[in-house]
Structure 1
Amino acid sequence: MNFLKPLRSGALAVSAAALLAGPIRAETIDVTVVAGHPPVFLWVKTLTDAFIPAVDAALEGTAYDIAWLEAYGGTLAKVGGELEAIEDGLAQVGIVSSLFEPSLLSLQNVTYVTPFGSDDVDIVFDTVDGMHDEIPDMRKLWADHDMEYLGGGFGLEDYLLMTKFPVKTLADLAGHKINAPGPAVNWLKDTGAVGVSGNLTTYYNDIQTGVAEGVIVFPTAAAAAKLQEVAPYVTRTGFGAQYAGAIVAKKSWFDEQPAEVQDALQVGVDAFAKAYREGLEQRVAGAFKAMEAGGATITVLPEEERLKWANAIPNVAMEWARDLDAKGLAGTEVVKTYMQKLKDAGVTVPRDWSAE
C-alpha cells in the first residue's frame, strides 16, 4: 500500500487552506500620540514624518501593528498639558515639554539655568538625554507621573537677542526693557536691563507698543513671528541651545506591551531625534536668511562682552540647585554633571556655574 499518497494529499490540503486563509493577521494596538503644539512646529511635524513611520517599519514582520490617532494642536491637550493627558490615560505616547513643567520636571530644565553654554544642539540634547541614565532622580521625576522616558531629547537652537537699538556692549542694555521667556528672565539680572516676562504670542505687540524694547528668543521663532519688523537689531549672544523635552509613554501601558512593540517605539524615537536635528539645522539657516531679507542687521556680541554678561548675572544655577537639593532632589549633581559634560565635549564656557 502506498502510504505517501494520502500524506501528500493531506499536506496539499493544509497548504491550500493556508493560502485561502491568507497571512496571519497581526494584533492591532491602538495608540494615541499627543502634542499640545500644532504640526507647524518641527517637533510635532517630526512625529508624523519620522517617528510614526519608523515604528511602523520596525513592526513589519512581527505579530503586531499600531493604529495611530494623532492628537495635536490642542485637540486633546493644550501646550503644557501633555503630561497630564498621558498620566490620565487619554494618550499612550506623546511629546512632553519639560520647559512648561518647571515644577514637576525641574531637573530637566538645567540648560535654562546655565546660560552661555553650547550652541551645538547635538551636544546639548545628547548630554541631557544621557544624564537620564546616570542620575536616577531625572527618570524618577517622569516615573512619579507614570511616564516612561523614551528619549529623543529635543529643544531649541542657540538663543539670541533682538532689539530696537544696536547692542555692541553689555552697557548698551542699561535701562532697556527686554522680553524673555520664563526662566530666561534670569539671564538679564544685574545686567542693567529690565527683564519683562513674555512669550511668542506677546513679543511682537509688546515691542511695537513699547512694553519692551527687545526680546531674548530663538531664530526660528523670531523669523516666523517677523520680529525683525519691530526689533531689527539681531545680536548673536551665544546664550546656548536649550533642551526642552522628549518623547515619553505612559509607563503602566508601556510595561504591558510586548518586547517587539517596546523595541519599535525606541527605533521610532531614534529616528525622531535624527530627523529633528537635521530639520532644525535647515530651519535655522532659513530663519537667518528670512531675518536678513526682512531688514535685520545681524551682529555677533564680542567674546569679551559675552564674558562680562555671563559674570554679571547672579549664580542662578546654584541658587536653583540648592533649592532642589532642599527638596530632596539632585539639583547640585545635575548642574555639576551638565557643566562637566560640556567641558568634556570641548565646549569653552565663559562661566562654570558649578564651580562657585
Structure 2
Amino acid sequence: MRHAWMAAVLALTFAGLHAGPAAAQDKPIELRFSSWVGIGHGHHREVLVPWAKLIGEKSGGRLKVTIYPGGVLGKPADHWDLIKNGIADMGFGTHGYTPGRFPLTSVADLPLLYKSGKGGSQALWSIFDKHLKAEHADVKVLWIFVHPPGQIHMAKKPVHTPEDLAGLKLRAPTAVTVAIVKALGGTPVTLAAPETYNALERGVIDGTLFPWEAISGFKLAEVLRHHTVVNLYATSLFMTMNQKKYESLPPDLRKVIDDLSGAWGAEFTGAAWDKNEEEGMAAAKNAGATIYAVPAAERARWAAKLKPVEDEWITSMQSRGLPGREVLQDLREALQRYDR
C-alpha cells in the first residue's frame, strides 16, 4: 500500500513539473508599446494596430503588443528615452523633437525633397546603415520613416506665394522646419503635434506645417480655413524597441520582430500614411476650406527662398565634422530610385 501511495505522489510530481512550463508558455510575452497619438489618428489605425496584430499572428500568439495611445506613458519628446530606459518596451517618436540628438538624420527634414511618404521612407531607410545607424546606437531600431510631404495650413489668411508668409506665426516642429519658416519670412513657433489645435484656436499661431493626414488625425479641419500644397518638407520618425527587452526574447521571436521591421516596416508605414493623406484632404474640403496648389512654374521661387536652408545645414554638419553633403547626396540618389 505504501509503495502504491509513493508511486502516485511521484507520478503527480512528475506531471506537475512538466505542466508548469507548458502553462507558462500559454501566456504570451507582453510588449508594451507607447504611442503619443490617439486612437483616431491614422498611424494608430493603419500602422500600429495591424502591425501589432501581425506580431501576434506570426509569433503564434507567443508575443502580444499592447498599445498605450494618447501619450499616457510620456510626452511626444520623451519617447526616445522612454524606450531606451525601459519605461515602455516599444514606441515611436519624432527625431526632431529632441534637437541636436540626431544631427545627420535631420537631413530628412530639408525642404522640397519628397513626393510621397512611401518612397521617402524607403529612401531614408536605405541610407540608415551607412550614415544614420551610429546616431541610434542605444536602442533596437525597428525602422525609421518620413511622413508624406508637409503642406502649409492657415487659420485665416491664404498663402499663394512665399511673400504671403511675411510676419505670420507658423508651427514648426523641428530645427530644420524652424529654418524653413524663417527663410520664407514667417515666425516659427515650436510645438508638438498634439498642441497645435489649441494654439490655433487661441490665436497663438496663424498656421502650421503638417502633412494632410494631421488635418483629420488631430481634428484641425475645425480651426483651419486655407491650405497651400507645395510639398514643402517632411519630418523623420522612429519605431524603436528597448534593447534589453529585444535581447531577452528567444531567437525565433526576435526573428518575428526582425521580419516585420526594417525595409518592410518603412514601406508599410509610408504607404499607410500616404493613404491617410486622402482622408485629411477630404476633411478640409468637407469643412469648406480653400486649397491652393502652387503651380509647377512657381516652385522655382520657393526653391530659391529655401536654398539657404540646405546650404546652412551642410555648413552646420561640416562644422561638427559630419559628412552632411555626402548624406544629402546619397538621400537624393535614393529618392531618385524610390520616390520618382
- Separation in 2, partners of 1:195, 1:22: 60
8 Å CA contact 1:56–1:264 kept in 2: the answer is no
- Structure 2: runs of 5+ lacking an equivalent: 1-14
**1:162 — aligned with what?**
153
Given candidates 120, 139, 157, the residue that maps to 2:133 is: 139
**2:35 pairs with 1:35:** yes
1:207-218 matches, cutoff 5 A? 207=200, 210-218=203-211
The alpha-carbon distance between structure 1 residues 23 and 188, as it changes in their structure 2 partners (threshold 3 A), is closer
Cα distance, 1:257–1:99 mapped onto 2, change above 3 Å? same
Structure (1/2) with the larger strand percentage: 1
The answer as to whether partners of 1:58 and 1:267 remain within 8 angstroms in 2 is no
The TM-score with structure 1 as length reference comes to 0.76
Is 1:258 matched with 2:250?
Answer: yes
Q: Which has the larger radius of gyration?
A: 1
Count of paired positions: 319
- Per the alignment, residue 124 of structure 1 pairs with 120
AA of the residue aligned to 1:43: H
Match of 1:350 in 2: none
Aligned position for 2:292 = 299
Pairwise CA distance, 1:265: 0.6
Deviation at 1:124, TM superposition (A): 0.7
> For the residues of structure 2 that align with 1:119 and 1:236, how far apart are their CA atoms?
12
Taking the aligned partners of 1:252 and 1:226, their CA distance within structure 2 comes to: 37
Matched to 1:44, the amino acid is H
Give the CA deviation at 1:24: 5.2
Per-residue deviation, 1:166: 3.3
- Taking the TM superposition and a 5 Å limit, the aligned residue runs for 1:88-127 are 88-112=85-109, 114-127=110-123
Which structure 1 residue ranges, 5 or more long, are not aligned?
1-16, 348-356
Distance between the aligned counterparts of 1:315 and 1:232, measured in 2? 30
CA RMSD of aligned residues (A): 3.2
Residue 264 of structure 2 is aligned to residue 269 of structure 1: no
Partner-residue secondary structure (3-state), 2:92: strand
Question: What amino acid maps onto 1:284 in structure 2?
Answer: E
Under a length normalisation based on structure 2, what TM-score does the superposition of the two structures give? 0.79
State the identity %. 21
**For residues 137-157 of structure 1, what are the alpha-carbon distances to aligned partners after superposition, in whole Å with 9 as ceiling and x for unaligned?**
x112211x2x12121x34322
Following superposition, the deviation at residue 236 of structure 1 comes to 0.5
Q: Which has the higher helix share?
A: 2
* Secondary structure of 1:80 counterpart: helix
Counterpart-to-counterpart distance in 2, 1:75 and 1:208:
24
What is the rounded CA distance, in whole Å, between the counterparts of 2:88 and 2:203 in structure 1?
A: 42
Give the match for residue 62 of structure 2.
65
Query: Which string of whole-angstrom CA distances, capped at 9 and with x for unpartnered residues, describes residues 157-200 of structure 1?
Result: 22111232333333333444444333312213343434444454
CA separation in 2, counterparts of 1:346 and 1:96? 23
Aligned counterparts, 1:334-345, within 5 A: 334-345=327-338
Contact 2:228–2:292 under 8 Å retained in 1: yes
Greater Cα shift, 245-254 or 196-205: 196-205
Pairwise CA distance, 1:65: 1.7
